Chain A
């Protein structure tokens, strides 16, 4: 049973393993080793028998192959209605076969499964909305990704991603020290314009525990500062945890369920330790899904709920605007045509479709809906980890055409996307297709238009 040095069934638990993976330019050696990787059919079948429960079993069996899901899939429409892109075909020919053959499959088959699970499905779960039986291929592909991961068949970046979670408890190599330093830095840098601005760490019994996406401390620290400014202006009693601040879960994209559990328990431990009244997640879709929707199950919480009530950032913004905690200067509302990107992960998975519309009604003069929208909206093309995987870049770029056309059809010049993956995908889309649009998170837009209460203004200059 040959296992590669980099591509194998082992979990990445040490820094040495992680560094070795990172040193492999573009995953060249990793994918080379993957070709030699043996499939442990017995173990695979044992796992399937233990974990393939009645819902997925039934779904596999009752699928009538009616093809009603075809048009629901953006990959299908973006690829000239290629029959191989019909969701039911995609899952039946991979997971369906795997179960039918009782795990007795070869290396080539596993690689086909991996390619299908990562380059032909972003787990956006849109097909589930249109299936007459309610069969959700996104959920099933999530399950298949887990099986593939247990056998070592996962894209190189995914293996790195789960390693990061296992070692740093974050999707990137941000240590506790880096995180605390970034918070201090941002408070210092922005304090001059917003006197009294603080980023309180580990404050107990705060009204809000704020948690982020590791990419914020790593690459966009101003995002943390912007969140701090808005909480400050809204007069919130808030805090960030020193440990358990990272909400995202590349492990969820990869199907490394043990790492998912570790990651989310770290956040829940912060909740238990600091006892906040509620938790607010930054502008990220999959982070919200991982911590608030799926997380409780990974952590084995019987209630199916996180230890404290948890909100997505759009919910906090809507509430702050509704209750007047944040006031918009009417003259500064967005004048140009603007549209809104519904993130699959908190629209379809959590039903938050109305909230963004409420926000737009406060901040935009010319809001234009994409068609279709809300829970019918298409994935940006970068969901399910697709943004980060080099091997499937081309497939993702083709998939993005659907969102591109949706955006262009609105005539909007600005897309608001309160989700890191959507934000990235739209940025990439602009780079590839030159659409002439801008894109933004909510925070920088709000900062430009909120009224600063008199007592929080900086002293007059000069």
Chain B
């Protein structure tokens, strides 16, 4: 299923939950795992100094330093590495999102696993190019393969995936997310929850929807799910359809909790790369920060077709 997993990590505590899921998955599904770390940002033109992503200090980059960092990663994940040996450690310098995307492309990864760092926690996160946006934003938007993001302790990830929530906004990108959710559910024998949240968050702006409008929207969305997705699940009947109303990210997280689901699959295709604006705009980002299970972002069909 996931032949090659790229685990992109800062190797700091903010990635611990992601590490647990990445190693656990690689072991369970027999995947090749690459632990990938961008250790420093070359911020001084052509100079040989880099800014260490963990400490924020300026260090002089050379082979010895690189080896030392790799050794540190080995120590950090010593326990996990003992359990799963089919694993390589790679470290290099560069702009994190660029190098993660470059590595995923080069290695033809089937899945990228990442932690999500919160914005309050400035240590270890580094918005490099003021206008381009954060690592998570850029990787989830541009990756050709699914990106699995673990924001909080993945409470239910003990026995592999069993319940998958596919949150749709009916976009073209969501189509790829659906294919991924469906194929994973089918292959791993999970129950698939097809879910849409009708956005009534306009209430804060004084825009009150009539109850019949809400109910109409719910009905329309349910119908849409039936038309768009159900015919494509030939011979697979372990699914349910639900449409709730509210603020989409809250509803997705609530619904997932209620169904004790252990994976959320969504598309992330916001066109707004500005971190300040995207913070409010991206449902996916909010879900990632709040959900207690891994969240897979899938925008493109490339890696989903062959699953």
Residues on A facing B (Cβ under 8 Å): 22-27, 156-157, 160-161, 164, 171-172, 185, 188-189, 192-193, 215, 218-222, 250, 382, 387-390, 420-421, 424, 427-428, 438-440, 444, 461-462
Partner of B44 from A24, A164, A172, A424 at Cβ < 8 Å? A424
Which residue of B48, B95, B271 contacts A220 across the interface (Cβ within 8 Å)?
B95
Query: In the complex, A442→B101 CA distance in Å?
Result: 24
Taking Cβ atoms with an 8 Å cutoff, the residues of B that contact A are: 42-49, 60, 62-65, 94-95, 98, 101-102, 105, 129-132, 142, 144, 170-173, 271, 300
**In the complex the two chains form, what is the Cα distance from A389 to B49 in whole Å?**
9
Q: Within the complex, what minimum Cβ distance (angstroms) separates B186 from chain A?
A: 24
Structural contact, B130 and A438, CB atoms closer than 8 A: yes
Pair B46/A171 contact, Cβ less than 8 Å: yes
CB distance from B44 to the nearest CB of A (A): 6
User: Residue on B with the closest CB to A253?
Assistant: B46
Chain B nearest CB, measured from A413 CB (Å)? 12
Beyond contacts A26-B48, A420-B45: 7 other A-B pairs, Cβ-Cβ < 8 A, are A161-B46, A192-B300, A219-B42, A390-B60, A428-B43, A461-B172, A462-B172
* Beta-carbon contact of A220 and B129 below 8 Å: yes
Q: How many A-B residue pairs have CB under 8 A?
A: 85
B95: shortest Cβ distance to chain A, in Å?
5
Q: Is the interface of B mostly helix, strand, loop or mixed?
A: loop
B46, A250: Cβ atoms under 8 Å?
yes
Chain B residues lying within 8 Å of A185, measured Cβ to Cβ, are 102, 105
In the complex the two chains form, is A388's CB within 8 Å of B98's CB? no
Picked from B47, B171, B271, the residue with its CB within 8 Å of the CB of A387 is B47
Q: Are A25 and B60 in contact (CB under 8 A)?
A: yes
> Given the complex, which residues of B lie within 8 Å of A188, measured CB to CB?
144
> Is B62 within 8 A of A390, CB to CB?
no
Instruction: Report, nearest first, the 5 A-B pairs whose CB atoms are least far apart.
Output: A387-B45, A388-B47, A388-B45, A26-B60, A461-B172
A residues less than 8 Å from B171 (CB atoms): 461-462
Q: Are A220 and B98 in contact (CB under 8 A)?
A: yes
Instruction: Judge whether B170 and A462 touch: CB under 8 Å.
Output: yes
* A222:B271 contact, CB within 8 angstroms: no
**Which of B43, B44, B48, B271 meets A22, CB within 8 Å?**
B48
Residues of B within 8 A of A439 (CB): 130
Kindly list chain B residues whose C-beta atoms are within 8 Å of the C-beta of A382.
45
How far apart sit A424 and B132, CA to CA, in the bound complex (Å)? Answer: 15
For this complex, 27 residue pairs linking A to B, each with C-beta atoms less than 8 Å apart, are A22-B63, A23-B63, A25-B64, A25-B65, A26-B60, A27-B48, A157-B48, A161-B46, A164-B46, A188-B144, A189-B101, A193-B271, A215-B45, A221-B98, A222-B132, A250-B46, A387-B46, A387-B47, A388-B47, A389-B47, A420-B45, A424-B44, A461-B172, A461-B173, A462-B170, A462-B171, A462-B172
